[in-house]
Amino acid sequence: MSAAQAVFSGWMEIEDTDEQQRAHALDQAVAALVEEYAPALYRVAYSVLRNAADAEDAVQEAFVRVLRHRDQLGEVRDHRVWLIRIVWNVVLDRKRRMKTRPETDDVTELARVLPSGGLSAEELAAAAQHHARVLACVEQLPAKEREVLQLAAFEELSSVEIAAVLGITESSVRSRLFRARNLMAELLDHKRSLR
């Protein structure tokens, strides 16, 4: 049982206490959620926005939304998927508002955030360039396929959970993932033939 779930089970037992105690318990529950899931939400946000500050702001906004609807926390079954769905919507909203491409071409930023793994500076720069090219191809995918592909990269998310985040069926997730992989392979082949 996670810390957040423990807090929730405690909160559910509060029956005869007054409103203030209940609100305090809810605040504690939100704090536990932040502690447990903020890093995972950050990674989801970063995978789309590719900007550290924007990703952190998105996580913040997601928890503000959670705080606003904290009365409904008791009805949520899987908090992790629920939170990922919230941050996913926040991230898509932000991306739509920004109307700009994510920093896929910012090789320097990628070289900064990617783990060096004992590579030399030149090798790291080359790897960053390669990753930037791949991410540029991802950006060329249709939105539906791209979203499934990005979420599938998170190993902790199963296809059922991806379906829950996107609000589609599991079979749709599988078919979109299949299409996305084929499209990506074609795009990369095309790029390689141009070089």
Binding site for another protein (CB under 8 A): 24, 27-28, 30-32, 34-35, 38-39, 42-44, 46-47, 50, 52, 56, 59-60, 63-64, 67, 113-115, 130-131, 134-135, 137-138, 149-150, 152-155, 181, 184-185, 188-189
Least distance between another protein and beta carbon 108 (Å): 16
Whichever of 6 and 185 has its CB closer to another protein, that residue is: 185
Whichever of 128 and 164 has its CB closer to another protein, that residue is: 128
Least distance between another protein and beta carbon 163 (Å): 18
Least distance between another protein and beta carbon 53 (Å): 10
Least distance between another protein and beta carbon 55 (Å): 9
Whichever of 31 and 125 has its CB closer to another protein, that residue is: 31
Measure Cα distances from 145 to 36, 98, 139, 150 in Å. 29, 21, 10, 9
Whichever of 83 and 164 has its CB closer to another protein, that residue is: 83
Whichever of 78 and 190 has its CB closer to another protein, that residue is: 190
Least distance between another protein and beta carbon 189 (Å): 7
Least distance between another protein and beta carbon 76 (Å): 18
* DSSP-assigned states of every residue in the chain: --HHHHHHHHHHH--SS-HHHHHHHHHHHHHHHHHHHHHHHHHHHHHHH--HHHHHHHHHHHHHHHHHTGGGGGG-S-HHHHHHHHHHHHHHHHHHHH-S--STT-HHHHHHHS--TT--HHHHHHHHHHHHHHHHHHHHS-HHHHHHHHHHT-TT--HHHHHHHHTS-HHHHHHHHHHHHHHHHHHHHHHHHH-
Whichever of 67 and 76 has its CB closer to another protein, that residue is: 67
